[in-house]
A and B are shown apart, each in its own frame.
Chain A
Amino acid sequence: MSMPSRRGDPTIVAASLSKTYRVQKKPPGLLGSVRALVRREYSDVRAVQDVSFAIERGELVGFLGPNGAGKTTTLKMLSGLLEPSGGECRVLGYEPFKRERPFQRQFALVLGQKNQLWWDLPAIESFLLNKEIYGLDAREYKATLDELVELLGLAKLLDVQVRKLSLGERMKCELVGALLHRPKVLFLDEPTIGLDVVAQQTIREFLKAYNARHGSTIVLTSHYMDDVKALCERVVVIDRGQLIYDGALRDLVARFADDKLLTIELEREIPREALAAIGEVLTWEGRAATIRVPREEVSARAARLLAQFPVLDLAIQEPDIDEVIRALFGGTLAEAAPPAETPPPAPLRLGEGREEGRDDGVTGEGVAAHGSDA
Chain B
Amino acid sequence: MSLYYTLFRLALQEAIQYRVESAIYFLYDVLPPIMMAFVWLAAYEDQTSVGGFDLSQMLAYTVGIMVLRTMLTSHIEWAMDHEVRQGLLSTYLVRPMNVCAQWFVGELAWKAVRGVLVTPVLIGSLVWLGPYLSLPPLDIGQMLLLAVSVVLGYLVCFALKLCIGMLVFWTTDINGTMTLYDVTASVFGGVLVPLTLLPEPLYALAMVLPMRAIYDVPLGILLGRLDGAALWWGVASQVGWATVLGLFARALWQRGLRRYEAVGG
Q: A and B: partners?
A: yes
Name A residues whose Cβ lies closer than 8 Å to a Cβ of B. Answer: 29-30, 33-34, 37, 344, 347-355, 357-366, 369-370, 374
Centre residue among B13, B106, B182 by max chain A CB count within 10 A? B182
Centre residue among A359, A365, A370 by max chain B CB count within 10 A? A359
B186 close to A361 (CB less than 8 A) = yes
Nearest chain-A residue to B83 (Cβ)?
A: A349
A360 close to B82 (CB less than 8 A) = no
Q: How far is the CA of A37 from the CA of B15 in the complex (A)?
A: 13
Q: B25, B179, B192: which contacts A370 (Cβ < 8 A)?
A: B179
A370: which B residues are within 8 A, CB to CB? 179
Q: How far is the CA of A37 from the CA of B186 in the complex (A)?
A: 36
A353: which B residues are within 8 A, CB to CB? 75-79, 81-82
Nearest chain-B residue to A354 (Cβ)?
A: B78
B185: which A residues are within 8 A, CB to CB? 360
A352 close to B13 (CB less than 8 A) = no
Number of A-B contacts (CB under 8 A): 107
A352 close to B75 (CB less than 8 A) = yes
Report the interface size class on chain B: 35 or more
A344: which B residues are within 8 A, CB to CB? 17
Contact code string B101-126 (vs A, CB < 8 Å = 1, else 0) = 01101110111000000000000000
A350 with B79: in contact, given A355-B25, A359-B182 (CB under 8 Å)?
Answer: yes
Nearest chain-A residue to B190 (Cβ)?
A: A363
Q: How far is the CA of A175 from the CA of B81 in the complex (A)?
A: 37
Residue contacts A-B, CB under 8 angstroms, 30 given: A344-B17, A348-B10, A348-B106, A349-B79, A350-B103, A350-B109, A351-B15, A351-B107, A352-B18, A352-B22, A352-B75, A352-B110, A353-B79, A353-B82, A354-B78, A355-B25, A359-B29, A359-B186, A360-B186, A360-B189, A360-B191, A361-B179, A361-B186, A362-B182, A362-B183, A363-B32, A363-B186, A363-B193, A364-B28, A364-B192
Q: A30, A348, A363: which contacts B191 (Cβ < 8 A)?
A: A363
Q: How far is the CA of A221 from the CA of B194 in the complex (A)?
A: 64
Q: How far is the CA of A364 from the CA of B35 in the complex (A)?
A: 10
B16 close to A (CB within 8 Å):
yes
Q: B12, B78, B81, B183: which contacts A361 (Cβ < 8 A)?
A: B183
B187: which A residues are within 8 A, CB to CB? 362-363
B15: which A residues are within 8 A, CB to CB? 351-352
Q: How far is the CA of A360 from the CA of B189 in the complex (A)?
A: 9
Q: How far is the CA of A366 from the CA of B28 in the complex (A)?
A: 9
Closest CB-CB distance, A66 to chain B, in whole Å?
Answer: 30
B183: which A residues are within 8 A, CB to CB? 361-362
A352 close to B16 (CB less than 8 A) = no
Contact code string B1-43 (vs A, CB < 8 Å = 1, else 0) = 0000000011111111110011001001100100000000000
